[in-house]
Homo-oligomer: A and B are copies of this chain.
Amino acid sequence: MLNHPELVREATRDRVLASMAALGYVRNEAARHLRSGSTRTLAMIVLDAWNPFFADVARGVEDIAVAQGWTVLLANSHRSTEREALYLREFAERRVAGLLVSPHADLAASLQALRRGGIESVLLDARASDPEGLSVSVDDVEGGRLAASHLLGLGHREIAFGGDPATVSHVRDRLEGVRVALRDAGLPGDVSVLPAPDLTVEGGAEVGRQILGLPQSRRPTALFAASDLVAMGALHELVRAGWKVPEDISIVGYDDNAFAEHVLIPLTTVRQPAYEMGRVATEMLLGRLEGRPITPNHLIFQPELVVRESTRVLDQ
């Protein structure tokens, strides 16, 4: 693809870059743009941009950012530590002004380094361990407790949890909430965990197949799925096998994503204020970029139970 003049120009370029590096020069397009009044850029790195939960978060981010004249670039880490690091480096090199990250790895050291280099950041859907950092998260233990308390109140005792606590801390926290609810109700025993490989519809189908594979005596009367997508996948698999929901099994999801009320059986679920989280995170980040003090700098939203048609009182 390179012809001779191109090679010559690239050699010149390399010399300029080398001398710039020697001078300790760091290109800063963002600052230049800020001064010229043209593009001002934020970047967002999410675990899975195609999960409707992150779509809602991102909508909130964009609504605030765009209204204030910022552009937003998005990247998908796909829950890969390597890709996450790659995008962090890429956005740092491209000198975006600020980053919004739903982290996979522990990014405290990386984000502190970026901050020293003039790039501010806010963690989305996770608590920053850096006391100076910014973060917006949801109390997932409380969310799990809400889901389980609802099911316990309907008389369910054989509750299965659809999700793998080994994957992400959110899943661990939601499961912990179930255990809190059991303890609060003075109930013995433990919840049975049916691991979903990830929080997707396909992961939920896997949970559904695990339920279908259990002997009659060990079948749960209720499923708390670690996300709405998992609930949808499990629901679909069970209905295809002839089960009726909620008659044969009650199902609770998590997120209240844009599709939860449109599903075959509209989902009872735990609502995370995804859109508001995106808005608030962006306001915090832009506030810090403008040098305003941000208090509190770690914001924790409370989830809410939304009761629809996928849960009902257990038949005696």
Contacts and interface: CB of A to CB of B under 8 A. Distances in A.
B1 A28 contact: no
Interface stretch (A108-116, A207-215, A255-263, A294-302): A255-263
A241 interface: no
| Copies per assembly | 2
A71 B240 CA distance: 38
B71 A90 contact: yes
A74 B75 contact: yes
Contacts of A201: 258, 262
Contacts of A166: none
Given A58-B49, A74-B76, A264-B266, A16 B20 contact: yes
For the side of the interface on A, what is the size category? 35 or more
Contacts of A16: 16, 20, 23, 25
A25 B49 contact: no
Interface string A254-293: 0000110111101000000000000000000000011100
A164 B264 CA distance: 27
A39 B93 contact: yes
Interface stretch (A81-89, A132-140, A143-151, A169-177): A81-89
A244 interface: no
Interface string A25-36: 111110110000
Which one of A232, A259, A263 has the highest number of Cβ atoms from chain B below 10 Å of its Cβ?
Answer: A259
A168 interface: no
A10 B12 CA distance: 22
A72 B66 contact: no
A59 interface: yes
9 contacts: A12-B23, A17-B32, A27-B27, A29-B94, A50-B52, A73-B73, A73-B75, A73-B90, A262-B263
Interface of A: 1, 9-10, 12-14, 16-17, 20, 23-29, 31-32, 39, 41, 49-50, 52, 55-56, 58-59, 62, 66, 71-76, 78, 83, 86-87, 89-90, 93-94, 201, 232, 235-236, 258-259, 261-264, 266, 289-291
Given A10-B31, A13-B27, 12 more contacts: A9-B25, A13-B25, A16-B16, A39-B90, A50-B52, A66-B83, A71-B83, A74-B75, A74-B76, A232-B262, A259-B262, A263-B264
